Amino acid sequence: MSEVKKGIGHKVELTDHLLFTPLSVTKDELLVVSPQGSIRSSQTYNDQVLERFPLLVDFTIEDLKDLLYEQILPAGPILEIGCGSGVLIETLRKSGYPAYGIEILDTFGDIWRARNIDQFCFIGNAENMPGVNNGFTLIITRAFWDSAFGTVEEGGLNNPFEIFKEMKRVLKTGGVFIPLAERGHEDNLELYANKIGFKGLVKSNKVFGYIKADS
């Protein structure tokens, strides 16, 4: 069992609760974060200083799930881009979080209804998302960026710049964007996030998260 620091001078033990669906990556491909200073959070995080977490050699996907719940998840609205069957939306809602999903495919309606989340999941394109400006405190993407950075011929959206602009539009200032990305997209994520004006929240050999700066 690993421990990470929470806030200043506090430690929280990571548990093994299965809160997120497993990602198809091996242990050494998971997002890990390095101890490179600290940042001042917005009121989303109760104005505490969030320390960057120590490098965890045995950082497992279960650790990542619990780290998100213990360290990142805010009280405000959450958006998952590419929500698929809605398993994450269902899990977050059962945990009391106001979570919503957007999915480009129109094949999940029956599953959403069976999970009683059809009123929270919507068919739409990440390049032109429904939602008010500054409406969400957290945006999560999972297994999404192969499509976003792919060509149209490969089935991709081919316009990641528009996706990042839309994410910035619907994300509150001080809100966080977490790309749980397929391996190999670190440089592209960093490039577009910097272009749009996101600040690095935590990162290592893979990008873990960005925070929306004042704008």
> Three-class SS of residue 202?
strand
Q: Say yes or no to pLDDT of 132 above 80.
A: no
Residues 6+ apart with CB under 8 A from 176: 44, 72, 74, 137, 138, 139, 201, 209, 210, 211, 212
Tokens representing 95?
């945990």
pTM of the shown model: 0.63
Percent of the chain with pLDDT over 90: 10
Q: How high is the pLDDT of residue 175?
A: 78
With tokens 């009391």, the residue in question is: 96
pLDDT band at residue 207 under the 50/70/90 scheme? very low
Q: Which CATH class is domain 3-212?
A: alpha beta
Span 67-87, average pLDDT? 75
Query: What Cα–Cα distance (Å) separates residue 215 from each residue in 12, 84, 135, 168, 203?
Result: 33, 31, 15, 10, 22
Q: Say yes or no to pLDDT of 210 above 80.
A: no
Q: How high is the pLDDT of residue 15?
A: 26
List the chain domain ranges.
Answer: 3-212
Q: Say yes or no to pLDDT of 166 above 60.
A: yes
> Three-class SS of residue 38?
strand
- Select from 31, 32, 51, 33 the least CA-distant residue to 41: 51
pLDDT band at residue 187 under the 50/70/90 scheme? confident
Write out pLDDT tens, residues 110-128.
Answer: 999 999 999 999 998 888 8
Give me Rg for the CA atoms of the chain.
16
Write out pLDDT tens, residues 10-39.
Answer: 222 222 222 222 222 222 222 322 222 222
Q: How high is the pLDDT of residue 173?
A: 80
